[in-house]
Amino acid sequence: MSANFSSLIELVREMGLLREAGGAEEVGGNPRITDVVSDSRSVRPGALFCCIRGERSDGHDYIPMARELGAAALLCERPVDAGLPSIVVPSVREVMGEVSAAVYGNPSEKLLMVGVTGTNGKSTTTYVLRSILGAAGIRSGLLGTIVESDGVRERDADRTTPESCIIQRRLTEMVRNGCGACVMETSSHGLFLGRLRGCRFDVPLFTNLSPEHLDFHKDMEHYFQAKRLLFSRYARPGFEGAANADDPYGRRLLADFPENMRGFALASDAFARVTEFRTGLEGTSMTVSMRGFPDLRLRSPLVGNFNVWNVLAAVTALRGRVEDEAVVCGVAAVPQVPGRLERHSLPNGACCFIDFAHTPEALKNVLTVARALCPGRLISVFGHGGGRYPLNRPALGRVAAGLADLVIVTMDNPRDEDPAEIAEEIVGGVQESGGARHQVILDRREAVRTALSVAAPGDVVVVSGKGPERYLEMRGERMPYNDAETVDSWIRSSRGDH
């Protein structure tokens, strides 16, 4: 896949975003662009280097390095004297996705593009979607919070929605590996910052919305408008999407795009409804009723009421695109989603769930599920990230105090904040709710091991906030750490294994 530099100039001109272009004549004509990168360390001969201005660094400062590594041309926001052909635009991010798509042969046009947005449930919903597609014989790639898959290999994800040039490269790998679909989590940051440019989604899906990332979006309306971009800017004409009709923001999407959307709900009247369900430690059974389709009886290994929504979202989005048999088999075969109600049986007769829940609403959902499954005490272990919406801290404390018998407050990626001060804000919420039994253990490994050690038969321990993450971020450093590894290590030591 490649494109002539001159064709990229024309593309940007057609977008109405070309400020200036030139330099090709001075360096020997019209170079062939074979790659698009925004990280100077990734530059290879033939690459277009895109100079992104971020909060902490300016890509224009790395042009000498890019040239030394063989960059063929530049996409930048101001004229530069670098001896390389360049395209100057008002915003590199606004253009980079479309340019990348052109260089890589517009891969999203060759895939069924399924995009999932919302606050909670995105990762689990993508796993259900992929399982249904796989049961239908459709190989799919995945871009999400937990892992990236090109249809053949998986790698740990660095961020939920990568830069647009990386997305286009990943989509190209999926096409090359025989994928017929891509399932993608689309974050509010990624949508707002234009990382989805160059993608056209056939099936956009909305799960729910609750306060998160308000340090970035400022208020819920701006947060919602960022999510709405998946449907208004990045969806293909004639798209067929789905939205949660039990959520007020989902109802707004259903009203805004009435010809393109299916609503799904547990409590509201909608296109797709769960008429009955039962959930326990071994999984969930449910009956789905959809207009124009026969009722569908489903069995899923996923537990908890909120996973009923996640399964229903995926079924609503794909039913009619695949056979019902594939829906039934796919839902039944959903694998364990790392860090999403990830269950560990403990040798002391207790049970531990590891979950990514890091907002008050998500923590409430997880603890409510655990409470219903718990014949003994419920022990909640969590913290809150530094540099994140601070009002969530007392709210998390209130939620945990209202549902758990013991609350252990610890750290969760304190970044540049003092973890003790974050914990104090959480404890303030615990005390507002009557001061449930609680303690602060800032060392997360020690906090988890303490919770597991005090658990008795029938107790449930919920370790939340980090899910599958493999680090603790503090003062600009990422120190190796993983909740599941901590739990497994405790299990081995308690059994006397070596």
DSSP assignment of 262-305 equals: EEEESSS--SEEEEEEEEETTEEEEEEEETTS--EEEEES--SH
What's the confidence (pLDDT) of residue 27? 47
pTM over 0.75, yes/no: yes
Residue showing tokens 């919903």: 125
Q: How far apart are CA 111 and CA 179, in angstroms?
A: 7
> What confidence tier does 29 reach under pLDDT thresholds 50, 70, 90?
low
Burial class (CB in 10 A: 0-12, 13-18, 19+), 231: buried
Q: Reduce the DSSP state of residue 120 to 3 states and report it.
A: coil
CATH 3.90.190.20 in the chain: give the residue spans. Answer: 342-495
Considering the domain 342-495, what is its CATH architecture? Alpha-Beta Complex (3.90)
Q: How far apart are CA 264 and CA 300, in angstroms?
A: 18
DSSP 211-224: S-SHHHH-SHHHHH
Residue showing tokens 């531990």: 352
Closest residue by Cα to residue 163 from 37, 12, 1: 37
What's the confidence (pLDDT) of residue 498? 57
Q: How far apart are CA 207 and CA 227, in angstroms?
A: 10
What's the confidence (pLDDT) of residue 281? 81
Which amino acid appears at position 448 of this protein? V
| 354 touches 292 (CB < 8 A) | no
Residue showing tokens 């990045």: 234
Tens digit of pLDDT for each residue in 422-447?
999 999 999 998 878 999 999 999 99
What's the confidence (pLDDT) of residue 38? 96
Tens digit of pLDDT for each residue in 451-464?
999 999 999 999 99
% of residues, the chain, pLDDT over 70: 98
Tens digit of pLDDT for each residue in 53-109?
987 899 999 999 999 999 999 999 999 988 899 999 999 999 999 999 999 999 999
CA dihedral 118→123→129→130, nearest 10 degrees, is 150
Q: Tell which CATH classification among 3.40.50.1000, 3.40.1190.10, 3.40.50.300, 3.40.50.1820 matches the domain 107-332.
A: 3.40.1190.10
Burial class (CB in 10 A: 0-12, 13-18, 19+), 64: exposed
Q: Is the pLDDT of residue 28 over 90?
A: no
Q: How far apart are CA 289 and CA 297, in angstroms?
A: 9
Closest residue by Cα to residue 187 from 239, 122, 109: 122
What's the confidence (pLDDT) of residue 25? 53
Q: Is the pLDDT of residue 213 over 80?
A: no
| 89 touches 17 (CB < 8 A) | yes
Helices marked H in 136-210? 164-176, 188-192
> Given this structure, which CATH class describes domain 3-103?
alpha beta
What's the confidence (pLDDT) of residue 41? 95
Q: How far apart are CA 26 and CA 326, in angstroms?
A: 58
Q: Reduce the DSSP state of residue 316 to 3 states and report it.
A: helix
CATH 3.40.1390.10 in the chain: give the residue spans. Answer: 3-103
What's the confidence (pLDDT) of residue 93? 94
Q: Is the pLDDT of residue 296 over 90?
A: yes
Range with lowest mean pLDDT among 90-94, 213-217, 246-250, 365-369: 213-217
What's the confidence (pLDDT) of residue 280? 84
Residue 57 phi/psi, 5° resolution? -150, 160
- Which residues pair with residue 290 across a beta bridge? 272
Strands 140-143 and 147-149: antiparallel
| 140 touches 182 (CB < 8 A) | yes
Q: What is the mean pLDDT of the chain?
A: 94
Which residues, 6 or more positions from 351, have their beta carbon under 8 angstroms from its beta carbon?
Answer: 281, 343, 344, 345, 373, 459, 460, 461
Tens digit of pLDDT for each residue in 219-233?
999 999 999 999 999
CATH 3.40.1190.10 in the chain: give the residue spans. Answer: 107-332
Cα–Cα distances in angstroms (integers) from residue 86 to residues 62, 72, 75, 76, 83, in the given order: 14, 9, 6, 7, 9
